[in-house]
């Protein structure tokens, strides 16, 4: 049997995971999200039409694919319902095609409010302001409203009232802002869940059945390795474990851990929000990458910070995720550069350093400069058709990370992909 595949971002998110999951979905019958929430923005093109998916897996546009949201995902019913509406308006019926774990913790509007108040208050980390941090805090603090709580109205009322009073105290005393009416929160939650309840059920057993029938599963990571709450650039991270190794917990299907792992990396680096970024460019080259790469957040529209490819960071990600192969995206964005820089290490106060040093805010990148290819890669259909300089760029990545590059993306559309 073909192996299952976990696809993860290896940088600070927005590596092009959505496009690559969409490509692989033609070969899988099931696609599963296992962490994160609607902070994710995964862009795919269906012909000329653009979709940005936040919660629903990027395999949704294939008739033969069933989509799953595992319990590791923090679920906003508002975001879910509007995404369902948008997809169904394109004539795709999601009933029987989408299944969400009853164990998911729910993200409520009060979480987004707290996230926004905190961001505006002090020590902003540039979150997506969606409420992801507070919702994961509640999960760990055992305060979350779980989807299954909606099945016991008495318990639900107590949990919602407790949660709202917990946050109202902060909203009032710390932020001097408008509090929430617990009765309204409860009513809205019940109404929204009613609309979405048909999508909730068991995910573990269903994945097990699909796998047991001989069909491998595609797991879609969100965010990126360097945003992992444990191994990323803490505290400038998201609040979930983004690594491939979190797939077992997040999907609820333990055999998911025996999968191949494909890491997606841009041919350069971007980051949205605050936090250290050793190869960040503040010169015209950075602006040029941003313009050509159209580097604006798919979820928030914020401009992304841009810099050269950081192989020191990529090597760190490759190890942590136990990558079996790499996909390099947006190679075409570098078409017009005479020279391209690639970071192959760091120095701190004149001494060699590494990503693990956690002195990233003081790290100066050591660059290797290579010649650009100076032509459009748009029409290249296989590796041999790439200019020698582009091949050398890919081979440098392989040599440094010791991971084979099995896919190269040279444009935003499904067919802009070179298999190796």
Q: Residue 223's closest CA among 141, 290, 321?
A: 321
Known catalytic residue at 22? no
Contact (Cβ atoms closer than 8 angstroms) between residue 382 and residue 419: yes
Q: How far is the CB of 294 from ligand IMO (least distance, A)?
A: 14
Contact (Cβ atoms closer than 8 angstroms) between residue 206 and residue 213: no
**Does 18 engage in binding with ligand GDP (CB under 6 A)?**
yes
**Does 38 engage in binding with ligand IMO (CB under 6 A)?**
no
Q: How far is the CB of 243 from ligand IMO (least distance, A)?
A: 14
Q: Which of 5, 21, 28, 41 binds ligand IMO (CB under 6 A)?
A: 41
Q: Which of 203, 210, 318, 333 binds ligand GDP (CB under 6 A)?
A: 333
* x/- map, 32-61, ligand GDP, by CB under 6 A: ---------xxx------------------
**Does 130 engage in binding with ligand GDP (CB under 6 A)?**
no
**Does 307 engage in binding with ligand GDP (CB under 6 A)?**
no
Instruction: For residue 31, list its beta bridge partners.
Output: 67, 218
Q: Which does 127 bind (CB under 5 to 8 A by kind): ligand GDP, Mg ion, ligand IMO, none?
A: ligand IMO
Q: Residue 397's closest CA among 267, 286, 278, 308?
A: 267
Write out the two tokens for 147: 């989807």
Q: Which of 10, 35, 39, 363 binds ligand IMO (CB under 6 A)?
A: 39
Query: Using CA atoms, how far apart are residues 20 and 413, in angstroms rounded to an integer?
Result: 10
**Does 14 engage in binding with Mg ion (CB under 5 A)?**
yes
* x/- map, 24-53, Mg ion, by CB under 5 A: -----------------x------------
Per CB under 6 A, the segment of 8-16, 184-192, 282-290, 381-389 that binds ligand IMO is 8-16
Q: Which of 4, 6, 7, 9 binds ligand GDP (CB under 6 A)?
A: 9
Known catalytic residue at 149? no
Q: How many CB atoms lie within 10 A of CB 384?
A: 9
Residues that bind ligand GDP (CB under 6 A): 9, 13-19, 41-43, 298, 329-330, 332-333, 409-412, 416
Catalogue the active-site residues: 14, 42
Residues that bind ligand IMO (CB under 6 A): 9, 12-14, 39-42, 125-128, 130, 132-133, 222-224, 227, 238-239, 272-273, 298
């Amino acid at each position: 049997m073909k192996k299952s595949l976990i696809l993860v971002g290896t940088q600070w998110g927005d590596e092009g995971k959505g496009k690559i999951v969409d490509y692989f979905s033609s070969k899988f019958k099931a696609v599963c999200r296992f962490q994160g929430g609607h902070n994710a923005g995964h862009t795919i093109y269906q012909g000329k039409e653009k979709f940005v998916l936040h919660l629903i897996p990027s395999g949704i546009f294939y008739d033969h694919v069933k989509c799953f949201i595992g319990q590791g995902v923090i679920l906003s019913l508002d975001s879910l319902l509007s995404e369902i509406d948008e997809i169904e308006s394109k004539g795709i019926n999601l009933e029987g095609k989408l299944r969400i774990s009853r164990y998911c913790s729910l993200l409520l509007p009060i979480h987004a409010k707290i996230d926004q108040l905190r961001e505006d208050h002090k020590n902003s980390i540039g979150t997506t302001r969606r409420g992801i941090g507070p919702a994961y805090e509640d999960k760990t603090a055992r305060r979350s409203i779980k989807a299954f709580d909606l099945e016991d109205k008495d318990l639900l009322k107590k949990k919602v009232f407790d949660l709202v009073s917990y946050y109202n105290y902060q909203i009032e005393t710390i932020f001097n802002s408008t509090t929430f009416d617990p009765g309204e929160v409860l009513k809205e939650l019940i109404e929204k869940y009613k609309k979405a309840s048909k999508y909730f059920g068991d995910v573990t057993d269903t994945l097990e059945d699909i796998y047991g029938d001989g069909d491998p599963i595609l797991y879609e990571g969100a965010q990126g390795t360097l945003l992992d709450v444990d191994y990323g650039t803490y505290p400038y991270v998201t609040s979930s474990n983004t690594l491939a190794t979190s797939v077992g917990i997040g999907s609820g299907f333990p055999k998911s851990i025996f999968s191949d792992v494909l890491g997606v990396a841009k041919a350069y680096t971007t980051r949205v929000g605050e936090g250290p970024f050793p190869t960040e460019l503040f010169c015209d080259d950075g602006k040029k990458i941003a313009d050509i790469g159209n580097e604006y957040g798919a979820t928030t529209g914020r401009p992304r910070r841009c810099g050269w490819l950081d192989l020191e960071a990529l090597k760190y990600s490759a190890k942590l995720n136990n990558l079996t192969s790499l996909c390099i995206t947006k190679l075409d964005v570098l078409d017009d550069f005479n020279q391209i820089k690639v970071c192959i290490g760091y120095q701190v106060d004149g001494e060699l350093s590494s990503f693990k040093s956690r002195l990233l805010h003081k790290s100066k990148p050591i660059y290797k400069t290579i010649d650009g290819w100076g032509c459009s890669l748009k029409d290249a259909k296989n590796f041999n058709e790439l200019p020698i300089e582009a091949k050398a760029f890919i081979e440098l990545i392989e040599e440094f990370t010791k991971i084979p590059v099995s896919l190269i993306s040279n444009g935003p559309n499904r067919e802009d992909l070179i298999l190796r």
